[in-house]
Amino acid sequence: MVKKIMTGNIAAAWGARLSRAEVIAAYPITPQTIIVEKLAQFVSDGELKAEYLHVESEHSAMAACIAASQTGARTFTATSSQGLVLMHELLHWASGARAPIVMANVNRALAPPWSVWVEHTDMMSQRDTGWIQFYAESNQEVLDTTIMCYKLCEDKDIQLPAMIGLDAFYLSHTSEIVDIPDQEKVDKFLPKFEPAYPLDVENPLSIGSLSMPHQWYPEFRYKIQEAMERVIPKLNKIEEEFYKEFGRKYTGPLELYNTEDAEVVLIISGAATGTVKETVDILRKKGIKVGVIRLRMFRPFPSDYLVKALSKISFIGVIDRSFSFGHEGAIYSEIKASLYGLNAPLIKNFIVGMGGRDITTDTITKIYENCFSCLKNNKIDIPVEWIDIKV
């Protein structure tokens, strides 16, 4: 084990390297570029034995990864924003093909207007593509989750792709101390990729052919959902094994921070969780009972876990760094749906930090204050409120 100071981008590249990705197909986009540059460096230095494809678009990157995965190679790619949404058709294809691709996505806003700064709309808008979705809070988590994702995705019971979101600049370009696990230990933790149905000239199969309505299409779809339902239990086991091997504990789909006796809990995902935790510490010192839940995973959506975690909470504020136009924040929608029919507490949606606008402890303090005032009046003032908006 070596400790190094590195950015989230470098951590993602290390995750792929330690996992011994065999085929990497990627296309550059700010702020992801350093991931693909670092991987190219690893390959050209002979530190990673992989085929590196300089594809001509993200669309082809994903197509090549799918095909390489179906041929039996462990594959990795990285993208962001416009690149991710360009892949959209093939994201559906990857899960339909049951290709356990692991992808780092640097969460960035979508144009126009151009913005290279953090927002989660890129990944949130891919929620129905059949990919497992993680949102990281730290660079260490980016590296560790990459390794764990291969083990999760390649499991015979899962066989689905996963994307790991890391916030533009806050993680992608910010340096932190990161433990780089020993290669031998990773090799022990992560077995070789053995696809269930690889392309094989000795056993010629026709993969992905037409299926009529009376044949097998619905069954293929149903099986994707069955696999999704196995993801969280499997993740819990993998995290336990990871803890035993590497000594770092992850807490499944949620991370709870001071929620036990909290009156008001905010729910958030991504790197801004750090700011919320800090605000919680400040407010707790003043005796104010606040907590935060970090959503590490958005697909599969951990409804049961949230319901349990929220059972004693009086007020929930959901922070979305993305928006579904004509409706509300995506996390907010999901949480309301999860609580439907239960004795639900008051719940309000805050749209914050779009296009990388800074989220400060002041922002979060104001949000907590607003929650308490709603709680006091037993009434939500504005159900979906955009924060720090100049118009």
Partner 1 sequence: MKRAGIPTEEFIYSGHTACPGCGALLVARYLLKVLGKNTIMNIPACCFAAIPGTFPDTCLGIPLLYNAFETTAATASGVEAALKIKGKKEKINVVGFAGDGGTADIGIQALSGAIERGHEIIYVCYDNEAYMNTGMQTSSLTPKGATTTTNPLGKKGGWRTRNKKNMMDIVAAHDIPYAATVNPSYPMDFVKKIEKAKNTKGTSYIHAYSVCPTGWRYQPELGLELGRLATETGLFPLYEFENGRYIINYKKKTKEVLEYYKLQGRFRHLSEDFIKEVQEYIDKEWQKLLVKEECSNR
Question: Which stretches of the chain bind partner 1, using CB under 8 A?
Answer: 22-23, 25, 49-51, 53-57, 59-61, 63-73, 75, 89-90, 93, 199-201, 203-212, 215-216
Q: Which is nearer to partner 1, 69 or 269 (CB)?
A: 69
Q: Which is nearer to partner 1, 217 or 243 (CB)?
A: 217
SS3 state at 36: helix
Is the backbone of residue 326 left (phi > 0), alpha (psi -120 to 50) or beta?
Answer: left
Q: Which is nearer to partner 1, 53 or 330 (CB)?
A: 53
Structure tokens at 19: 């996992």
| Contact by Cβ (8 Å): 106, 78 | yes
Q: Which is nearer to partner 1, 90 or 136 (CB)?
A: 90
Q: Which is nearer to partner 1, 113 or 204 (CB)?
A: 204
Q: Smallest distance, Å, CB 185 to partner 1?
A: 23
Distances (CA, A) of 95 to 100, 123, 186, 216: 8, 15, 25, 16
- The one-letter amino acid at 118: V
What strands lie across the sheet with 75-80, from one edge to the other? 51-54, 23-26, 75-80, 102-107, 162-167, 132-135, 297-299
Residue whose C-alpha is closest to residue 141's, from 324, 274, 50:
274
Measured distance CA(146)–CA(295) in Å, rounded = 17
Distances (CA, A) of 293 to 222, 264, 266, 274: 31, 11, 6, 11
Q: Which is nearer to partner 1, 22 or 141 (CB)?
A: 22
Measured distance CA(200)–CA(70) in Å, rounded = 10
Is the backbone of residue 123 left (phi > 0), alpha (psi -120 to 50) or beta?
Answer: alpha
Q: Smallest distance, Å, CB 196 to partner 1?
A: 14
Q: Which is nearer to partner 1, 22 or 320 (CB)?
A: 22
Q: Smallest distance, Å, CB 219 to partner 1?
A: 10
Q: Smallest distance, Å, CB 228 to partner 1?
A: 22
Q: Smallest distance, Å, CB 90 to partner 1?
A: 6
Q: Smallest distance, Å, CB 43 to partner 1?
A: 11
Q: Smallest distance, Å, CB 23 to partner 1?
A: 5
Q: Which is nearer to partner 1, 200 or 260 (CB)?
A: 200
Residues in CB range of 362: below 8 A, 6 or more apart: none
Q: Smallest distance, Å, CB 282 to partner 1?
A: 50
Measured distance CA(177)–CA(140) in Å, rounded = 8
